[in-house]
Amino acid sequence: MNVSIQTLGCKVNFAEMVDLGDRLARAGFSVSDSADNPDICVINSCTVTAQADRKLRTMVHGLRRRHPQAHLILTGCHVDNPHPRVSAIPSADVAFPNARKGEIFDYVSANFATGAAPGSTTFARSRFFLKVQDGCNHRCTYCIVWRTRGISRSDEETGLIERARQAVSEGYGEIVLTGVDLGAFGRERGQTLAPFARRLLEAIAPARLRLSSINANDFTPELVELAGAPRFCRHLHIPLQSGSDKVLKRMGRLYRRRDYLDLVAALRRQSPDIAVTADAIVGFPDETDADFADTQSVVAEAGLSGMHVFRYSPRAGTAAPRLGLPVDDPVSKERSQRLQTQAEAQRRAYEARFVERDLEVIWDRRFPNRMRGLSDNYITVYAPARGQALGALATIRPLASCGDGLTCG
């Protein structure tokens, strides 16, 4: 029985589906992230923007058209979106809200027979994504996720450390911590992320540790200090959203431009070559040319080496639509293009600094004649295929820049 798992959205969604895929494979199912000839297709959805909703609808309708006999299971934030016109996708056979996502395994196991041969999975990557936290207590005015994911809650440290150790014993060279609001890990227990991350880093040696997205206001002095620790990846994704204090306040963000710039400077004192990437939203209600210029200046001053740029998308059930009309579409589109162009130039400039310098990479994809790796500071590196094992760490020296990273001879 073939199970296809399709994931949209954040690394939390991916981590959840890797766990489901592993469980299904152990139960005897053949699991992959390919949509070729599925008997069952599980789609973990995103609803953070209107574009995410459209992408999901296109995916579901396409799967139904190409594989009319497949059983389509929909889950994720789209299912939990409280706006009925958004969340209704009749092409799916069954839908599981986030709170019941853990029941998908039991549902599949109870209703579908496994094959005679042992199960297998290709739904995994060389890096192990460990979900440690879910939910969000913030109320950013543009965001619907706090409604779809519920309140912030964290898993217990002992089980998380044991699962990470197991992943390293299975050959993973990097553990990636994920969470809807990762910086809130342990807060409901009066704890903070940094001590746990330090204990985990010690437990997973010789593998390295990477953190996913963390808000600027969630960095403690101990977490800043951890950025300089051996085997802690020299990369942090710190959402910016805007460089304008006025817009940040209207967004409900809990930091200001000076806080963001001071944090990046502190991180670079600990780790001078650290890569900092970010998200940004353009076209927020009443964003002026001056507000957008503030965003561009923060991106430049912080030396960001990568960005996800989103055009503001009004979401039913959020507060932002009450703040005014979005910026006119042609203006927001032009701002998005300008910011993406700036971000691309900064990425290339950052990467060029590491030509003919040693980088530690983890091999994450095999091509016919070459391998792709990801450096600890989030640079894509290509090298000739010489029998490298997926998931293995290696030290290499890139010789030149290429379109989407660096390349070795």
Q: What is the C-alpha separation between 224 and 236, in angstroms, rounded?
A: 11
pLDDT of residue 370: 94
Is 149 buried (19+), middle (13-18) or exposed (0-12) by CB count in 10 A?
Answer: buried
Helix 157-169 with 193-203: angle, nearest 10 deg: 30
Domain 2-121: assigned CATH number: 3.40.50.12160
Say what the pTM is: 0.89
Residue 405: band (very low, low, confident or very high) from pLDDT cuts 50, 70, 90: very high
- The CATH H-level (homologous superfamily) assignment of domain 127-352 is tm_1862 like domain (3.80.30.20)
- Who's near 237: CB < 8 A, 6+ residues apart? 211, 212, 213, 214, 276, 277, 278, 279
Residue 6 gets which letter from DSSP? E
Q: How far is CA 17 from CA 101, 129, 248, in A?
A: 10, 10, 33
Q: Show contacts of 160-169: CB within 8 Å, 24+ apart.
A: 160/130, 160/132, 160/196, 160/200, 161/199, 161/200, 161/203, 163/130, 164/128, 164/130, 164/200, 164/203, 164/204, 165/203, 165/204, 167/128, 167/130, 168/128, 168/204, 168/207
Adjacent-strand bridge partners of 232: 209
Q: How many residues does the chain have?
A: 409
Tell me the per-residue pLDDT of 39-67, one tens digit each, with 9 for 90 and over: 999 999 998 888 888 888 888 888 888 99
Between 44-53, 203-212, 372-381, the lowest mean confidence (pLDDT) is in 44-53
pLDDT score of 119 more than 70? no
Q: How far is CA 369 from CA 81, 356, 372, 380, 401, in A?
A: 44, 22, 10, 16, 18
Averaged confidence pLDDT in the chain: 92
Q: What is the C-alpha separation between 282 and 242, in angstroms, rounded?
A: 8
pLDDT score of 195 more than 60? yes
88: which 2 tokens? 């209704």
218: which 2 tokens? 């969630």
357: which 2 tokens? 């310098």
Q: Describe the strand order of the beta sheet including 275-282 as a list of residue ranges.
A: 235-237, 275-282, 306-311
Helix, strand or coil for residue 288?
coil
Between 33-37, 113-117, 181-185, the lowest mean confidence (pLDDT) is in 113-117
Adjacent-strand bridge partners of 206: none
Tell me the per-residue pLDDT of 148-174, one tens digit each, with 9 for 90 and over: 899 999 999 999 999 999 999 988 999
Give the distance between the most distant pair of CA atoms in the chain: 64
96: which 2 tokens? 């599981």
186: which 2 tokens? 């342990």
Q: What is the C-alpha separation between 207 and 295, in angstroms, rounded?
A: 36
Where along the chain do its domains lie? 2-121, 127-352, 359-407
Q: Which helix (H) or strand (E) holds 281?
A: strand 275-282
User: Per DSSP, which regions of 25-140 are E strands?
Assistant: 30-32, 40-45, 71-76, 94-96, 120-121, 127-134
